[in-house]
Amino acid sequence: MSSSSATDRRLGIVGAGKMGTTVARAAMSAGYDVALSGSGPPERIALIVDVLAPGARAVTADEVVGSAGIIILALPIHRFRELPQDLFAGKILVDAMNYWEDIDGVDEELATAPLGTSVVVQQRFSSARVVKSLNHLGYYDFEEIRRPTGVVGRIAIAAAGDDRAAVAAVLQLIDRLGFDAVDAGRLEAGLALQPDGPVFGVRHGAGELSELLWAEASSA
């Protein structure tokens, strides 16, 4: 069941670090039921989840996948190949991972990916519906600058993916997390959201973000 209907407020997150726990908090305050997993057994992240994302559940990766139609990848990208290739079959998989040589070491495939790292992630998880998103702001931004829908000066987050229904579901998630949502187009447009890209690490409103992405797309 990969329902992402307007009433579905369930979210799975793989990775219970800075990013995973922060997104979990934001999602819970938007009324989501959140399940998180780390690389080991749930007990290893139980205290972290209890203190940093109280109310969320610490479970196994399989249980995360079973818990929701939308799953966020919030683990270091140099470790994504540890996950089974068919783990996310049919799921909307939000790739929030960035490749940073300073964190991930040298990885030729990721460093040179001409269509962006999310395309590499989609190739590996070929049965999942990959959407690149939630990667271009610092984790703490999810805490400090999210605002309810309609508030002036709201910051925007973009999503890129080939499965348009999956993108629509992620755009809705972004809005509920407290940000204006910008459709960046196809998955390879996610290249523009990566480190070194024109929007990475800077807070923009929706208009500005769309313009920057549009300028990037037309110069490519």
Partner 1 sequence: MTPESKGRDVNPEDIEFGLDTFVYASVDESGRAVDGDIVIRNTVEEAVLADSVGIDSFNIAEHYRPEMMDSAGHVMLAAIAGRTERIRLGTAVTVLSTQDPVRVYTNFATLDAVSNGRAQLIVGRGSLTESFPLFGFDLADYEELFEEKLDLLTRLLRDQPVTWSGTFRPPLTNQYLSPPLPEGHLPTWVGVGGSPQSVIRAARYGLPLMLAVIGGPARRFAPLVDLYKRALDAYGHAPLPIGMHSHGFVARTDDEAVAIQWPYWADIFEGAAAERGWARPTMERFQAEIADGSLYLGSPETVATKIAAVIRQLGLSRFDWAYATGRVPHEQRMATIELYGREVVPRVRELLAEPPAEPASSSAPATTDVGAASVQQ
Residue numbers at the binding site for ligand NAP (CB under 6 A): 14-20, 37-40, 44-45, 61, 74-77, 79, 82-83, 96-98, 135, 138-139
Under 8 Å CB-to-CB from 97, ≥6 apart: which residues? 73, 74, 75, 76, 77, 80, 117, 121, 135
Binding partner 1 (rule: CB under 8 A), the pick from 111, 140, 211, 214 is 140
* Cα–chain center distance at 13: 9
Q: What angle do CA 107, 111, 114 make, to 5 degrees?
A: 135
CA distance 113 to 118: 9
164 lines the binding site for partner 1 (CB under 8 A): no
CB of 162 to partner 1, least distance (A): 25
Q: Stretches 15-23, 85-93, 153-161, 181-189: which one binds partner 1 (CB under 8 A)?
A: 15-23
Binding pattern for the stretch 194-213 against partner 1, x by CB under 8 A and - elsewhere: -xx---xxx-----------
CA distance 155 to 178: 8
Residue 197 DSSP symbol: S
Specify the residue, 107 or 216, whose C-beta has the smaller distance to partner 1.
Answer: 107
Binding pattern for the stretch 25-54 against partner 1, x by CB under 8 A and - elsewhere: xx-xxxx------x--------xx-xxx-x
CA distance 117 to 109: 8
CA distance 161 to 183: 9
169 lines the binding site for partner 1 (CB under 8 A): no
Residues binding partner 1 (CB under 8 A): 16-18, 21, 25-26, 28-31, 38, 47-48, 50-52, 54, 78, 100-107, 138-140, 143-144, 146-148, 176, 178, 195-196, 200-202
